[in-house]
Amino acid sequence: MGCIESGILGFSYSPNQEILVIATGNHTLISFDTSFDVISEVHIDDNPDTFKPPSTSSPVYFTWKADAKVKHE
């Protein structure tokens, strides 16, 4: 088991519930399989205004493609 020290900004399961994607506070998307093994970790960008700590006025949204791959916006 691990810890996401930078915090979780948002998360989403794929439509088939086989992949979990987490957006972290250090501008990465981490995807996990059903055993919570890391599939990939992708750096998104370094702009501090792109991702901010969660608040009630700024939710994080994920869009899943038909092939169950995440498209971040």
Please tell me the chain's helix, strand, coil percentages from 3-state DSSP, rounded to the nearest 5.
Answer: 0, 40, 60
Residue 15 domain boundaries: 1-46
Measured distance CA(68)–CA(55) in Å, rounded: 27
Query: What is the C-alpha to C-alpha distance for residues 46 and 12, in angstroms, rounded to an integer?
Result: 22
The values of phi and psi at residue 26, to 5°, are -100, 30
* Residue 71 in domain: no
Residue 54 is assigned to a structural domain of this protein = no
Please give the average per-residue pLDDT across 65-72, as a whole number: 59
Predicted model pTM: 0.70
Tokens representing residue 59 in the block = 């939710």
Mean pLDDT (the chain, rounded): 77
Is residue 57 a part of any domain in this protein? Answer: no
pLDDT tier at 70, thresholds 50, 70, 90:
low
pLDDT per position as a tens digit, 16-50: 889 999 988 888 889 999 999 999 998 887 666 66
Is 9 a domain residue?
Answer: yes
39 within domain boundaries: yes
